Amino acid sequence: QRSILRFWVYPQIGLGIAAGLVPILMHPKVVAKALTSLKGTGDEKGLIFSFKTLIAGILITSITIVILNTWLTGCSPIIFTGLILIDFIASLIMTRGIGVSGIAFTIPYITETVYTLTPHSNPSIWFSPIYVTGGGGHWASWLKIAELTNTDYMSYVKAILIITPIAWILSFLYLEILWRIAPIPSGIYPGFSYVVPATYIVPKAMWITGEVATGKALSFIMGSLIIGSIVEIIVTLLHIPFSIISIVIGITTALPMSITILLGGILGRILEWRMGKEKWEEYRITVAAGIFLGESIIVALAAALSMVTRMLWILPY
């Protein structure tokens, strides 16, 4: 974690930007076609909202976010406007990452890097309610799945709007149940004590206190951006079957997950060889869904059993 924050985070940012933006810049017609296809009414194009409604919603939301964060922190609105633009770029990068590899890629610590490299005197900016996630890539993939399964876009959006408040209410109930078992954090929930400090508290504290070395941040970001861009341009022009974004995703993905994906790919090739390509392509999604469903049931039962046994253990006290 500390090695990433002190060095590797900046090359990852540069390579991520190169892997996501260079292909888009080399094929501007694709982006232009996607944007121009939004024009017209929703009924004409089969969209959820009309083009004017979409643009108005984006502008109103963006302006509200900038005003809110400027008011809360007292910092320049230029910083938050820049973060919104960066988030749009991050969404394009994540969308391409999912399309190429099936894995969502987020540029790491880009918000913290912007805060560190821009002049400001108010420490409250570190707790402002804005963060670059590139979450638009998830929505693009979900709507693509809806398209492939002949699901109406609006039906999916309605389902999200209905399920989200229910999930919020249930999350409070689950949290209350867990708190009644034991305080959080505590020895009853060891995972929380390990995961939260390592993934949120310690990195946040390192950025705020200046422990993250930023002296050569711009040099590392620009250097990796230039190198990644050159490699991406060369492999694209020469039609070499090589993807920079896959390399970046591999670099930024935890080792257990990377190894699991590699083993799954090897196993898939073996099964394709034994079963035949057509049969394997027909049933592989069903097999994956069955494995995922079975694993989910086992995890749910194991978690429930663990909670029951822990409740019995602390009951006398």
What whole-number distance in Å separates Cα of residue 228 and Cα of residue 234? 10
pLDDT tens digits along 234-249: 888 888 877 777 787 7
Residue 62 near residue 55 (C-beta atoms within 8 A) = no
The tally of CA atoms less than 13 A away on the side-chain side of residue 242 is: 13
pLDDT (average), residues 107-127 = 79
Residue 253 near residue 262 (C-beta atoms within 8 A) = no
The tally of CA atoms less than 13 A away on the side-chain side of residue 38 is: 12
What whole-number distance in Å separates Cα of residue 279 and Cα of residue 275? 6
Two tokens at 202? 């310690």
pLDDT tens digits along 216-228: 777 778 888 888 8
What whole-number distance in Å separates Cα of residue 14 and Cα of residue 5? 14
**pTM score, whole prediction:** 0.74
pLDDT of residue 45: 47
Q: Name every residue whose Cβ is closer than 8 Å to that of residue 222 and which is 6 or more positions away in sequence.
A: 14
| Cis omega (within 30 of 0) for bond into 123 | no
pLDDT of residue 190: 76
Residue 2 has pLDDT above 70, yes or no: no
> In 130-200, which residue ranges form alpha helices assigned H by DSSP?
136-148, 153-181, 190-196
